[in-house]
Structure 1
Amino acid sequence: MFSRAAGWSHWPAPAKLNLFLQITGRRDDGYHLLQSVFRLLEWGDTIHLRPRADTAVRRCADPEGQPSTIAEHDDLTVRAAKLLQKATNCQQGVDIGVEKRIPMGGGFGGGSSDAATVLVALNQLWGTALDVDALAELGLQLGADVPVFVRGDNAWAEGVGEQLTPLSLPPAWYLLVDPGVHIPTAELFQAKDLTRDATPAKIAGFLTGDLLGNAFEPVLRRKEPAIEAVFRALSRIGTPRLTGSGSGCFVEFADRASAEAALADVPSSLRAWLAQGAGRSPLHAALAQANAAQRRRSLQGQPGLS
């Protein structure tokens, strides 16, 4: 493991769900305008960070620091660290380890969350002292979903996903399924049966339960038999939905017991698991703990305090 004794710190990178998603238009630069609701989860990846005395930024394949084989331009965690380094003229470096749980291409936000965690945690470890607005602005350079993870709130999203209004969502548990297929988002946006001109909705419409669909659902169900099969299987236990533009599917439950009972009825051939909805990002809970510990250490170092 990436042990604290060896200088590593550990930071959660939570997954997300899109509880609804629609496309309302397109900007002049070609980016599509969206409306969605992001729900953060108490489950996800873990990012391991070990500051360096030099300026090197390395993705490590193991706790001993062996370099990863992932190309740097494909590695959002490395790009995030270097972006923060450049923006703050920081002369420190970092070793990065990633403990992956979030499946790639599922629409659960794994890559974006990993990048956001690197930005937020390194801002703490390096002492670069950027506020959350500045970090979110940097995150947007890495991907449209990164700012919601940086800010750490469940949120109503507009624009390309970067215009965020915090939402208070009720407690919930989710049964998640990964069909194991992936269609590039660019290909989905070109699909003829994708609705790109939905009437803009209001937050109130979501809160009353009128907005639950995902614009990509009919496209993906038509293109991928595996996703259609998952929807059919999950429809026996609840109302299945799609998250983001990936293949990940989910069913929402009000409590853990209901979710566990539903999971027991899911065919064993499906990769399914449970996750609890978060009231606020686990990353920000970890950050608050780190700040509290730092304040305690500071107080203990003052004369007359033990």
Structure 2
Amino acid sequence: MRSLHDCPAPAKLNLFLHVVGRRADGYHLLQSVFQLVDRADTLHFDLRDDELIVRTTEVPGVPADQDLIVRALRLLQAEYARRHGRLPPGIDVAVEKILPMGGGLGGGSSDAATALMAANRLWQAGLSQQELMDLGLPLGADIPFFLFGETAFAEGVGERLLPVRGPDCWYVIIEPGVAVPTPAIFSAPDLTRDTGRVIISDFSSSYEVSGKHRGFGKNDLQDVAERLFPPVAQAVEWLGRHGDARMTGSGACVFCAFSSEREADQVVALVPGTWRAWKAHSLSRHPMKSLLQNQ
């Protein structure tokens, strides 16, 4: 096999996100539930005749050497060389980017995770899911979740994952038109850092899929993001008229759950034209796993 095309890199939502403490090294301790949805970037991979990792498409604002895709593939290439005593072939990567940067949807981390899964197959590197998760973690705390590949209750900095059953629903997602830099949120002095811990059953027992969804918990990063980036607050206020709206991740995207596609369509049609809005369905499993099984 010398190529893998049409590889999905789906978005994620944080159904809740609590900051429960801080480590001595400054990293924040979190609790969250990560939910995949069926809106995705698409990546294409082709083996090269040399050993270079080449991103063949432009991603505005992201130089190739800084791209998590390229950095992840170089890490896997080095790990392959360590195990086999030689470098594997290089890879050309083309990216069809639709997920916004600085949106809290994990787009860059998802791209990197899909790249690791694809290259692990193309190179026949033989790394396990856990080994890929360990390899990706230093690049970004969300990467292990996308490699884990199913709805997950997350703890630590986001790397300790347990499967959990999430809602089967439709989401309306609004892009408020701003990119929120994660460091600006976590460094804010007024960020809540002492929310009480919860357990999986607290989340699992909270969902009732009837009418409008009432989400569990809250997003502790939202208040800071709303203060620093008023368009986030405006989107939360508007979407909140239709249900339990909240921000995902460190922002800026805002989402609300609905029981039917019809309800989601109705709300998307009402979103002011100054924002980009779309619908997405929840996913229980990463679509890349099915693609690789069918190869």
Does the TM-score normalized on the shorter chain lie above 0.5?
yes
Question: Which one of 88, 91, 98 corresponds to residue 88 of structure 2?
Answer: 91
The Cα offsets for residues 84-113 of structure 1, whole Å up to 9 and x where unpaired, read as 000111421100111101000000000000
Aligned to 1:274: 279
Supply the AA of the counterpart residue of 2:173. Answer: L
The Cα offsets for residues 165-223 of structure 1, whole Å up to 9 and x where unpaired, read as 01122311100001121232222112222110111111122123373310011111122
Question: Which one of 252, 255, 267 corresponds to residue 257 of structure 2?
Answer: 252
- Map 1:169-188 → 2, pairs under 5 A: 169-188=166-185
Shift of 1:128: 0.6
Supply the AA of the counterpart residue of 1:229. Answer: Q
The Cα offsets for residues 214-238 of structure 1, whole Å up to 9 and x where unpaired, read as 0011111122221111112112211
Query: Given the superposition, is the C-alpha separation of residues 208 and 69 from structure 1 closer, same or farther in structure 2, using an over 3 Å criterion?
Result: closer
Distance across 1 between alignment mates of 2:167 and 2:278? 20
Matched, 1:226 2:231: yes
Distance across 1 between alignment mates of 2:121 and 2:164? 26
Question: Which one of 16, 23, 31 corresponds to residue 20 of structure 1?
Answer: 16
Aligned to 1:55: 51
Aligned to 2:211: none
SS at 1:277 equivalent: strand
Query: Given the superposition, is the C-alpha separation of residues 7 and 205 from structure 1 closer, same or farther in structure 2, using an over 3 Å criterion?
Result: closer
Supply the AA of the counterpart residue of 2:149. Answer: G
Q: Say whether the 8 Å CA contact 1:77–1:115 is kept in structure 2.
A: yes
Aligned residues: 282
Matched, 1:128 2:125: yes
Distance across 2 between alignment mates of 1:106 and 1:71? 19
Shift of 1:266: 1.8
Query: Given the superposition, is the C-alpha separation of residues 29 and 182 from structure 1 closer, same or farther in structure 2, using an over 3 Å criterion?
Result: same
Q: Say whether the 8 Å CA contact 1:179–1:226 is kept in structure 2.
A: yes
Q: Which runs of 5+ in 1 are unaligned?
A: 291-306
Shift of 1:70: 4.5
Q: Say whether the 8 Å CA contact 1:59–1:68 is kept in structure 2.
A: no
Matched, 1:197 2:194: yes
Percent of aligned pairs with the same residue? 44
Matched, 1:237 2:242: yes
Matched, 1:146 2:138: no
Q: Say whether the 8 Å CA contact 1:172–1:277 is kept in structure 2.
A: yes
Shift of 1:152: 0.5
Query: Given the superposition, is the C-alpha separation of residues 170 and 70 from structure 1 closer, same or farther in structure 2, using an over 3 Å criterion?
Result: closer
Question: Where in structure 1 do 4 or more consecutive aligned residues deviate above 6 Å?
Answer: none
- Map 1:75-90 → 2, pairs under 5 A: 75-89=67-81, 90=87
Query: Given the superposition, is the C-alpha separation of residues 118 and 7 from structure 1 closer, same or farther in structure 2, using an over 3 Å criterion?
Result: closer
Q: Say whether the 8 Å CA contact 1:61–1:68 is kept in structure 2.
A: no
Shift of 1:21: 0.2
Shift of 1:78: 0.6
Q: Say whether the 8 Å CA contact 2:4–2:118 is kept in structure 1.
A: no
Aligned to 2:212: none
CA RMSD of aligned residues (A): 2.0
SS at 2:283 equivalent: coil
Q: Which runs of 5+ in 2 are unaligned?
A: 82-86, 207-214
- Map 1:91-110 → 2, pairs under 5 A: 91-110=88-107
SS at 1:213 equivalent: coil
- Over alpha carbons, which structure has the higher Rg? 1
TM-score (norm 2): 0.91
TM-score (norm 1): 0.88
